[in-house]
Amino acid sequence: MQLRKLLVLILTFAVCSFSYLPSQAQDDGDRDRGDRREQRDRDRVPSWAIGRFKGHNRKYKVDTELTIRRDGSVTSHSRFDSGKRTTDSGTFRRGQIRVGSGTYDVESARDGIRLIQTTDRSNRAIYHKVD
């Protein structure tokens, strides 16, 4: 009789343990999907930042045209007052543009965007959307 009770107890524990595992795995899967979705949302370029923008940086006396694409790629065409011209490629990710040797926080501004260099907060410029 004791052996029978012991077997029933072991079987009951085993059944309960196995029935718990799939739901736990499901919860972990849901959590992983949520984490990936959150990551995608942070990496997604906001709609207000997609397009072609023109602006002037007073600190460095340069006119710049920025193109920000939905996939996060960025192209910068700059023309300095001295006549020098440069073209750089970069990325938009997590609210920042990395282009050339600089990293810039990007904010929505009226009719465009504002860029603020992360290592020199006084280096900021507003770019107006042109298309």
- Among left, alpha and beta (phi > 0; psi -120 to 50; other), residue 94 is left
| Nearest of 105, 98, 110 to residue 123 by alpha carbon | 105
Contact 68, 44 (CB under 8 A): no
Is pLDDT at 106 greater than 90 in this prediction?
A: yes
Contact 130, 67 (CB under 8 A): no
pLDDT of 56-95, one tens digit each? 999 999 999 999 999 999 999 999 999 999 999 999 999 9
Class of 47-129 per CATH?
mainly beta
Burial class (CB within 10 angstroms; exposed 0-12, middle 13-18, buried 19+) of 11? exposed
The rounded distance, in Å, linking the Cα atoms of 123 and 119 is: 9
Mean pLDDT of the residues in the chain: 83
